[in-house]
Amino acid sequence: MEHLTNRIWVLLEHRDGRLKPVSREAVTCAQALAGPLKMSVSLVLLGDHTIEGLTHQVDREYGLEVLAIRTESGAVCTPEIQCEVLRQSIAQEAPYLVLMGHSYQVIDFAPRLAAQLDRAFLSNCLGHEIRDGKLHFIRPVFGGKLHQEMTFLGEPPFIVSIQPGAYSNQILRTEDSPGVVWKDIPPLKQNPGRRVLEIVEEASKKVDLTQASVVVAGGRGLASREKFQLILDLAEVLGASVGASRPPVDGGWLPKEHQIGSSGQTVAPRLYIACGISGAIQHLVGITSSQCIVAINKDPNAPIFNVADYGIVGDVFKVVPLLIELARELRR
Amino acid sequence: MRFLVCLKQVPDKDSRYSLDDSSCWIKEQDLTFETNEADLYALEQALRLKERHGGEVVVLSLGDDRVLKCIKHGLAMGADCAIHLRVPGSGWRDAFATARVMAQAIRRRSVDLVFAGVQSEDLAHAQTGTILAHFLGWPHATIVLEVQVDPDFVTIVVKRELEGNLFERCQLSLPSVLTIQSGPNQPRYPTLKGIMQAKRKEIVTLTPEDLGLRDQDLRATGSRLVPGRLFFPAKKKRTVMLEGSDEEMAGALIEKLRKEAKVL
Ligand SMILES: Cc1cc2nc3c(=O)[nH]c(=O)nc-3n(C[C@H](O)[C@H](O)[C@H](O)COP(=O)(O)OP(=O)(O)OC[C@H]3O[C@@H](n4cnc5c(N)ncnc54)[C@H](O)[C@@H]3O)c2cc1C
Ligand SMILES: Nc1ncnc2c1ncn2[C@@H]1O[C@H](COP(=O)(O)O)[C@@H](O)[C@H]1O
């Protein structure tokens, strides 16, 4: 990798012919970096022949250079194939920075890709700063209670993923449209180490929280299935739907359909009341479209308070019964 | 079959943090530490596979002597023996460097299946297990909820979580590395008998030098990342924090939701 180009790559993730929102957010990050670093942005799509339509769409939407890497290595790529195709392309084109959204797919292949390139992978960044010409990224640590600034050492390419929701997904179109560069990679042998058997959708649609106008949700702070009843009671008096973070569902306190977050449902209610939920990013991505968020948590530093409109630092077992009582009075 | 489970020690989930003088790390003195939650799910998976198919479960933790608590807890849950990769000090650790040391230790044993957590609760790189697979030259799968060993003991089938209620079933050849996600298989608690038995189980201590690695292979200086300052995040929204007694806060909340936000 001798001739390092002044390019920032953004790997665009897609499913069923559509871009992931977090991929658009990664483009925003790249565009913010390109000016100060005096670099240009290339949008990179990887897939088989079916990516053509999406490639042209992305070209029209952004007016940025698009690199479409086509390979007929089976519709369902395994991380081995993704790594191999990207490793070859990165070694040839030598971008300075490779940006992507911190998605489940990226978790599955990016660490391995970086290790193959003998580079570090800075995961789940939520901001950046350029100081004295040096690029720093910021990432959440300790359950989001603290943020940490990180810097790369050594030679590019630098590989970075960004947290969903950290950057805007608004399209900033540039006028010069350099067009699409197609790159065909001969089919790779499907690595026998890992083989996809099937992809299935599981959670039943019995509980559709996406349309709920009020959601009362409980987290690990509720402590047990029995005590979780408090959440059901509050939901009942408010005429609300019941939601949960992951631990209550893992613990079998209520069915999986109630889980909200990246592995569960996405809600957009008028009012979302989070009780005993810390506010991990995987939960927050499911609630950010809520009009009004209330958080009740005993820890004043819980990250949920960073996104709440109203906050109560207190014990759910004391505060929620009072709310139930007040809501009952209102109904009378 | 021999299963190996990586256990990382992390601060208690409900910890309140303060920064040390360098502002690059937390004050650790006042904290209590526990085993990373996803790793307990990983150990539970391994123990269930052993109960079903026979074999041995080894737990491994990298850190200073503080991580012995984590190792002993793993042994009390039912692991057969342990490896303590003893490295000095604590603080920020690079996933690349950690995986390199682990790979060196694992390579020397005949292990069929390595388990790690999807991510650690403190640094949340979400990388160590996958880089470990790279160093070992084995296949891997991330965000795994269930594991089945095929009757031939040559392959396994795992169920992985994808976004938005999708799941993937895939087959991997052994040996391989899995990163485990929390799910319905709740980790067991150590029994009194388990705790007593754990006292007699073997803990092998290895240092990077024992493994032929130099210090720079594992400390931050050997990595390609420099950790910078830590800070408390700024709020994104102007949150109205309600004050007073529980009764006052509850009353004020209902009032504000009705009159100010008009959502009740
Ligand atoms: C790949 C992946 C996917 C994930 N998908 C999801 C997902 O879809 N949805 C999801 O929610 N999570 C998901 N998670 C898990 C997520 O990272 C967090 O672990 C989880 O959201 C934490 O749930 P919690 O806030 O209920 O628990 P904790 O983080 O343990 O927080 C409990 C909170 O309750 C408070 N508390 C305790 N007792 C009381 C009390 N008596 N009164 C008031 N407050 C109290 C504590 O202060 C704490 O803030 C995923 C993780 C990964 C790695
Ligand atoms: N110091 C360590 N000792 C043992 N296991 C570790 C250590 N660091 C990371 N791991 C394992 O790697 C997983 C992912 O960690 P991370 O890459 O930091 O998110 C953890 O859940 C552990 O299983």
The Cα of A123 is separated from the nearest Cα of chain B by a number of Å equal to: 6
Tell me the C-alpha distance between A92 and A308, whole Å. 46
* Amino acid residing at A3: H
Determine the pLDDT at residue A76: 61
Minimal-distance CA residue of chain A relative to B178: A108
Chain A residues touching residue B135 (CB < 8 angstroms): 115
Q: Do B26 and A146 touch (CB under 8 A)?
A: yes
Backbone angles phi, psi at A133, to 5 degrees: 70, 5
Which one of B257, B260, B262, B264 would you mutate to disrupt binding with A, by most A Cβ within 10 Å of its Cβ? B257
Tell me the C-alpha distance between B126 and A178, whole Å. 36
Asked if pLDDT for residue A86 goes beyond 60, the answer is yes
The Cα of A279 is separated from the nearest Cα of chain B by a number of Å equal to: 12
- CB of B10 shorter than 6 A to ligand 2: no
Tell me the C-alpha distance between A173 and B59, whole Å. 52
Which one of B123, B246, B248 would you mutate to disrupt binding with A, by most A Cβ within 10 Å of its Cβ? B246
The ipTM (two decimal places) reads: 0.96
Prior bond of B175 cis (ω within 30°)? yes
Query: Which residue's entry shows tokens 């953004």?
Result: A10
**For a pocket test of ligand 2, which of B7, B128, B144, B178 has the largest count of ligand atoms closer than 8 A to its C-beta?**
B128
What strand order describes the sheet that includes A158-162? A121-125, A158-162, A97-101, A7-12, A40-47, A65-70, A180-184
- CB of B123 shorter than 6 A to ligand 2: yes
Chain B residues touching residue A140 (CB < 8 angstroms): 124, 233
Task: Kindly state the average pLDDT of the residues A13-17.
Answer: 92
Task: Kindly state the average pLDDT of the residues A170-184.
Answer: 88
What Cα–Cα distance (Å) separates residue A231 from each residue in A24, A96, A242, A304?
A: 36, 50, 7, 18
Nearest residue to A7 (alpha-carbon basis) of A69, A97, A92, A136: A97
DSSP tag of B191? P
Q: Which residues of chain B have pLDDT under 50?
A: 220-221
Nearest CA to ligand 2 atom 13: B117
Minimal-distance CA residue of chain A relative to B187: A251
Determine the pLDDT at residue A206: 75
Sign of the torsion angle spanned by Cα atoms A78, B57, B87, B8: positive
Reported pTM: 0.96
Tell me the C-alpha distance between A237 and B258, whole Å. 15
Query: Which residue's entry shows tokens 């010409």?
Result: A133
Q: Do A150 and B228 touch (CB under 8 A)?
A: yes
What Cα–Cα distance (Å) separates residue A317 from each residue in A221, A296, A303, B241, B250?
A: 9, 10, 20, 19, 12
CA A82 / ligand 2 centre spacing (Å): 24
Task: Kindly state the average pLDDT of the residues A138-145.
Answer: 96
Task: Kindly state the average pLDDT of the residues A4-14.
Answer: 92
Which ligand neighbours the alpha carbon of A301 most closely?
1
Q: Is residue B222 exposed (0-12), middle (13-18) or buried (19+ Cβ within 10 Å)?
A: middle
A263-297 pLDDT, tens per residue?
Answer: 999 999 999 999 999 999 999 999 999 999 999 99
Determine the pLDDT at residue A200: 92
- pLDDT level of residue A3 (50, 70, 90 thresholds): very low
Q: E-assigned strands of chain B?
A: 2-6, 9-11, 33-35, 56-63, 81-86, 113-117, 140-149, 155-161, 166-173, 176-180, 203-206, 225-231, 240-241
Which ligand neighbours the alpha carbon of A253 most closely?
1
* Amino acid residing at B55: G
What Cα–Cα distance (Å) separates residue A81 from each residue in A9, B119, B121?
A: 19, 23, 29
How many Cβ atoms from other residues are within 10 Å of residue A312's Cβ? 26
Asked if pLDDT for residue A77 goes beyond 70, the answer is yes
CA A125 / ligand 1 centre spacing (Å): 20
Asked if pLDDT for residue A2 goes beyond 70, the answer is no
The Cα of A55 is separated from the nearest Cα of chain B by a number of Å equal to: 23
CA A155 / ligand 1 centre spacing (Å): 38
A100-130 pLDDT, tens per residue?
Answer: 999 999 999 999 999 999 999 999 999 999 9
- Mean pLDDT for chain A? 93
Q: Which residues contact B260 (CB under 8 A, 6 or more apart)?
A: none
Strand partners, B148: B157
**For a pocket test of ligand 2, which of B5, B6, B218 has the largest count of ligand atoms closer than 8 A to its C-beta?**
B6
Q: Return the SS3 of B149.
A: strand
